[in-house]
Amino acid sequence: MSPSGRILYQFPISHFSEKSRWNLDAKGIPYRVHNLVPGLHLLVTKRLTKGVSGTVPILVDEDQVVHDSTDIALYLERAYPATPALIPVTEAERERVLELEEYFDATVGRNVRRWVYAQLFAGNVDIRPLMFGALSPPMRLLGHAMYPLIKRTIQRQYIQTPAKVEASRVKLMEGIERLEREIQGDPSRYLVGSSLSIADITAAALYAPMMAPEGSVYALPPGQAVSQAFAEMRAQLLARPAGQWFVRRYQEDRRRLAHGFTTGTETENG
């Protein structure tokens, strides 16, 4: 099928969008991305979902509209069974994959977003290139003009208070410990079985903003200053089996698949 009828509406910086991009790439399914401006995205997401959801990612596959990254992953398994399977067939492994996917989605997604945004702002990191770099020039200018409002909204909705940021750090470390138990301390292992699953994709993609893996949208440019807490956390994780596992998933799985099936990028114009 041509990718013209399959579009992923997203923010490039969104780790939930990265999760859906990775799922599509791992399934070998062609698609296009349609990048949205934070805030203005509501004009599109509310229309596509008939007011049900204001969040990204949203996958439009011909006449199917699927929102939420987990629902997109499950939809792809149902709709495209002939592509590489990302959920095992055996009942025990299938249940384990679905449980781990749900665990990492709930534990990591919101908490990594809060913690990483707090560290980026504390380190005075300019995230505008990540947010707006893939947009068309007119929409990029609009995004830059809206950035002070976007930043205040992020601080109010996601970061909130230092106590919330610390609570998120604790939850993220709980997730790291769970991952290391599941792989039995071996970075070469997948979470379930001997091949990539939606559980691996969820954990790796949602931790990616914290790990900043090379070759990803979150990779740190040479010389990029970050907060001391961010640098120390990343160094600490890279020394652990979990950090080495993230590196391997991006080197051995994500980079092999990345951009293999996308055919272009659209930008939101309204």
pLDDT reported for residue 70? 98
- Tell me the CB-side half-sphere exposure of residue 132, using CA atoms within 13 A: 19
Q: Is the pLDDT of residue 125 over 80?
A: yes
More confident: 235 or 260: 235
Flag the least confident range among 4-18, 80-94, 221-235, 247-261: 247-261
Spell out the residues 6+ positions from residue 72 whose beta carbon is closer than 8 angstroms to its own. Answer: 20, 23, 57, 59, 66
With beta carbons less than 8 A apart as the criterion, state whether 139 and 267 touch.
Answer: yes
With beta carbons less than 8 A apart as the criterion, state whether 193 and 93 touch.
Answer: yes
pLDDT reported for residue 265? 39
* Rounded mean pLDDT, 104-116: 97
With beta carbons less than 8 A apart as the criterion, state whether 154 and 127 touch.
Answer: no
Q: Is the pLDDT of residue 174 over 90?
A: yes
- Please choose, from the candidates 108, 95, 88, the residue with its C-alpha nearest in 3D space to the C-alpha of residue 19: 108
Report the alpha-carbon distance of residue 215 to residue 207 in Å, rounded: 15
Q: How is residue 266 written in tokens?
A: 């659209």
Q: Is the pLDDT of residue 214 over 90?
A: no
Which pLDDT tens digit goes with each residue over 136-155?
Answer: 899 999 999 999 999 999 99
Q: Is the pLDDT of residue 266 over 90?
A: no
3-87+258-267 CATH fold: Glutaredoxin (3.40.30)
Report the alpha-carbon distance of residue 99 to residue 90 in Å, rounded: 14
Which pLDDT tens digit goes with each residue over 15-70?
Answer: 999 999 999 999 999 999 999 999 999 999 999 998 888 899 999 999 999 999 99
Estimate to the nearest angstrom the gap between the alpha carbon of 86 and the chain centroid: 17
pLDDT reported for residue 243? 97
Q: Is the pLDDT of residue 112 over 50?
A: yes
pLDDT reported for residue 256? 72
Confidence at 221, pLDDT banded by 50, 70, 90: confident
- Beta-bridged to residue 33, according to DSSP, are 8, 265
Q: Name the percent of the chain lying above pLDDT 70.
A: 93
What is the Rg, in whole angstroms, of the alpha carbon atoms belonging to the chain? Answer: 18
Q: What is the mean pLDDT of the chain?
A: 91
Q: Would you call the peptide bond into 57 cis, given omega within 30 degrees of 0 as the criterion?
A: yes
Report the alpha-carbon distance of residue 135 to residue 138 in Å, rounded: 8
More confident: 262 or 165: 165
Measured between alpha carbons, how far is residue 118 from residues 62, 115, 159, 164, 238 in Å? 38, 5, 6, 10, 20
More confident: 215 or 65: 65
Beta-strand relationship, 58-61 and 64-67: antiparallel
Measured between alpha carbons, how far is residue 54 from residues 14, 147, 153, 203, 208 in Å? 14, 19, 15, 23, 23
pLDDT reported for residue 267? 39
Q: Where are the domains of the chain?
A: 3-87+258-267
pLDDT reported for residue 260? 43
3-state secondary structure of 188: coil
Q: How is residue 96 written in tokens?
A: 């384990």
* Rounded mean pLDDT, 109-129: 94
pLDDT reported for residue 22? 96
